[in-house]
Amino acid sequence: MELQPLEARSPRDFDGAFAAMSSKDAGALLILGDVMFITHRARLAELAAKNRLPALAQREFVEDGILMSYGAKLVDNFRRAATYVDKILKGARPADLPIERPTTFELVINLKTAKALGLTIPPSLLLRADQVIE
C-alpha cells in the first residue's frame, strides 16, 4: 500500500483532487478532520461515490454517504473538555492539568454505501460496529 497525499485548499480543488486520485488508481480515500471538509462533507461523499472510492472519515461524514469511520467518540471528548474548563474556572493552572487520551472509540459503517460500491462488509466487522447505517 502506498500513501498518496493530495491537497485541497478550497472546495474548488475537490474535482482536481478526485481526478488526480482517479489517474493514480487510488484504492481508497482517507479524509482528515478539517472544518472545510466537514462543511462540504456531502459533496465529498458524492465525489467519492462518483469515483467509486471507499472512503474513511470522521463520524459525521458517514451519515452523508462516506463508507466508514473509526475514531475517538467526540461527544466524550467534549465532556472531558467541560471538566477541564470547570477545573480552570475553579483556579487550576492549565499547565498543571494532565493531558488525557481518548478512551472511547466508535466504528460506524454505512452499509448502503458499501452496497453501492459493490463491497461486502464481513459479518464479524458489522458485529463490532457501534452503528450500521442501512
How confident is the prediction along the chain (134 residues), in pLDDT tens digits per residue? Answer: 788 888 899 999 999 999 999 888 899 999 988 889 999 999 999 999 999 999 999 998 999 999 999 998 878 888 888 999 999 999 999 999 998 888 889 999 999 999 999 999 999 999 999 999 99
pLDDT of residue 103: 84
Residues spanned by the domain of 111:
11-72+104-133
Q: What is the CATH number of the domain that holds 36?
A: 3.40.50.2300
CA atoms within 13 A on the CB side of 129: 20
In a domain, 82, yes or no: no
Query: What is the residue whose three cell numbers read 493552572?
Result: 93
Question: Which cell numbers hold the place of 59?
Answer: 463520524
Residue 83 resides in a domain: no
**Tally of CB atoms within 10 A around 69:** 23
Task: Please answer whether residues 81 and 100 qualify as being in contact, where contact means their C-beta atoms are separated by less than 8 angstroms.
Answer: no
DSSP state of 88: H
Per the domain annotation, does 23 fall within a domain? yes
Asked if residue 96 is part of any domain, the answer here is no
Least Cα distance to 75 among 94, 103, 100, 33 occurs for 103
pTM to 2 decimal places: 0.82
Does 80 fall in a domain? Answer: no
CA 62/CA 132 separation, integer angstroms: 10
- The b/e string for 104-124 (b: 16+ C-beta within 10 A; e otherwise) is eebbbbbbebbeebeeebeee
Q: How many domains does the chain have?
A: 1
**Residue 64 within any structural domain of the chain:** yes
- The 8-class DSSP code of residue 71 comes to E
